């Protein structure tokens, strides 16, 4: 893959994010979303990397977390489905595992263990 192709793939993701719209538009009942994850990488580093992401009503409703693998271009962890389902069921806690969805099989693909916490606006 050339540098130009890599750049195009990255731009595609940015575009997707812009088109996703804001959380307040899609999920007006949500006041905050926190994603905590442990990132496991094969081989290189046996110690998981802890990452945390905060989303507010003014954030984009785009829950695709970047993969940390060096060679990974179009991969990532898509929590969109997880979070949308949680909001629909009004669930506050969700937990699970995901594997990078990149299709570059030569790279050292990573996996995550995620914990999602969603807070809802109190109905008055
Ligand atoms: Zn990856």
Q: Backbone phi, then psi, for 52, in 5-degree steps?
A: -135, 140
How many angstroms does the Cα of residue 71 sit away from the middle of ligand 1?
7
Q: Which among 122, 120, 102 has a CA at the least distance from the CA of 32?
A: 120
The total of structural domains in the chain comes to: 1
Is pLDDT above 70 for 1?
Answer: no
Asked if 80 and 64 touch (Cβ cutoff 8 Å), the reply is yes
Cα(76)–Cα(122) distance, rounded to whole angstroms? 33
How many angstroms does the Cα of residue 26 sit away from the middle of ligand 1?
28
Cα(22)–Cα(102) distance, rounded to whole angstroms? 25
User: pLDDT tens digits, residue range 30-51?
Assistant: 999 999 999 887 766 678 889 9
Query: Which residue segment(s) compose the domain that 9 sits in?
Result: 3-120
Q: What is the pLDDT of residue 106?
A: 55
Task: Determine how many CB atoms are found less than 10 A away from the CB of residue 114.
Answer: 20
Cα(56)–Cα(59) distance, rounded to whole angstroms? 5
How many angstroms does the Cα of residue 75 sit away from the middle of ligand 1?
5
Q: What is the pLDDT of residue 105?
A: 57
């Amino acid at each position: 893959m050339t540098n130009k192709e890599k750049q195009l793939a990255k731009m595609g993701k940015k575009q997707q994010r812009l088109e996703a719209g804001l959380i307040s538009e899609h999920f007006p009942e949500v006041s905050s979303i926190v994603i905590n994850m442990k990132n496991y990488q094969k081989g290189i580093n046996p110690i998981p990397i802890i990452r945390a992401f905060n989303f507010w009503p003014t954030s984009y409703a785009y829950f695709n977390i970047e993969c940390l693998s060096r060679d990974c271009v179009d991969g990532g962890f898509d929590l969109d489905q997880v979070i949308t389902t949680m909001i629909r069921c009004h669930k506050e806690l969700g937990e699970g595992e995901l594997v990078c969805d990149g299709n570059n099989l030569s790279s050292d693909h990573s996996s995550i263990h995620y914990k999602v916490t969603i807070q809802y606006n109190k109905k008055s």
